[in-house]
Amino acid sequence: MSFYDEPFNSASAHGKELLAIAQIGIVEKTRMKQFVALVGIDQLAVNWDTNVLDIWDEVLGKVAEAKLVREFLVAARDEENFVRVRDRIVGLLAVCDAEAENAAGAADAPPTLEQLAHTTLVGMRPFVNRLQLRDNLVSLFGPDGGRTMVVWGPPSSGRSYTWVLASHVARKFGGMSTWLVDLSTFTDTQATPVDVARMIASSLGWTDWPQESDIDPAAQDATNARVLRPQLVSRLSDLPPMCLFFDGLDGTNLTEGAVQFVGDIAAAAGNDQLGECRVVLLAYARAIPNPNVDPFVLREPPLGDIPLAEVKDYFKKVAGEAHTEVTDDQASSLVAKVFGTPVPDPVPMSAIGAKAAEISVAARGLRSV
């Protein structure tokens, strides 16, 4: 979106300049009415019973609403009352024309992998900080990066929330399919490798695997895993590019063999055995079983609290995406409105999660300014 298409915001850089140009150009109401009509704004839509400075702010809001900002600037450039600021008008026109051209080109181009990984909102869900995760996603879904990613942190730290951002990047960049196998939903008894295999098959819509003939109910977990693993590797390697997520790997509802089985699947992906399939392990607090793969697994530091400055920077970034400037004081006010005062520094991840809806409302409010 370019300045020509945005709502008028006198706090933005271009908005300040446009308002200054208008206020310097015409200060007499009768001439203002004539110029406003010339641009195409109905005089009756403007409250003229106030001071000139406030009138210009209202008029420019209506000019922007009618998508007539460029027409306003062109008319002002050619109007004798604006001769003192003609150079500023020409300069603002040149900058805004270039931005409009770039915005039109950007609108036609799909977002880059880096842009997707650094998104601030996915739908209504806010994503604050997590810089290493974002870099990891660029590598995970890039052509020559890692194929296995591990996310770990204490409960309520946002590790499962990772699925939303990672899945968004996968689907939007190249249309990669994503599948979530949430092992925390297995509650009847401890899940075994056979149970994990069946959950994977159910997620992917497979009805012909695993075969009952391949499963020995009396066998040890490791024995069934040795049979099922190569079959699963073969099936996944034949699929189009996809990303398989496993969550709930730290629960007591899994046998050690089941956790090992999932780790082996991740190791196969990291060892380039699954073709273009990526594997992401959420809530996994151990090394990948293959020591040749583990050093190349994408990881971020254990999820923890976020410095207050980085929470404020999040709101500044959202505002920047809407071409609006938010000062440090304004960002501080937004943070205080969301979290109350005094705001802890660092902000606990549990608080970020509990206030996710309020953060989303504040962020979307900045985008609509």
**Angstrom distance (rounded) from CA 31 to CA 215:** 88
The mean per-residue pLDDT over the stretch 28-41 comes to 91
- From residue 26, give the alpha-carbon distance in Å to each of 70, 81, 98, 213, 361: 18, 6, 27, 87, 39
Q: Name the pLDDT band for 239 (thresholds 50, 70, 90).
A: very high
Per CATH, which fold does 129-299 belong to? Rossmann fold (3.40.50)
Q: Name the pLDDT band for 106 (thresholds 50, 70, 90).
A: low
Q: What percent of the chain has pLDDT above 90?
A: 75
223, pLDDT greater than 90: yes
**Angstrom distance (rounded) from CA 181 to CA 201:** 10
Q: What are phi and psi of 179, to 5 degrees?
A: -140, 135
| Contact yes or no for 281/150 (Cβ under 8 A) | yes
Q: Name the pLDDT band for 341 (thresholds 50, 70, 90).
A: very high
Q: What are phi and psi of 138, to 5 degrees?
A: -60, -40
Q: Report pLDDT digits (tens) over 159-169.
A: 778 899 999 99
**Angstrom distance (rounded) from CA 63 to CA 80:** 20
**Angstrom distance (rounded) from CA 82 to CA 79:** 6
Q: Can you give the pTM of this predicted structure?
A: 0.72
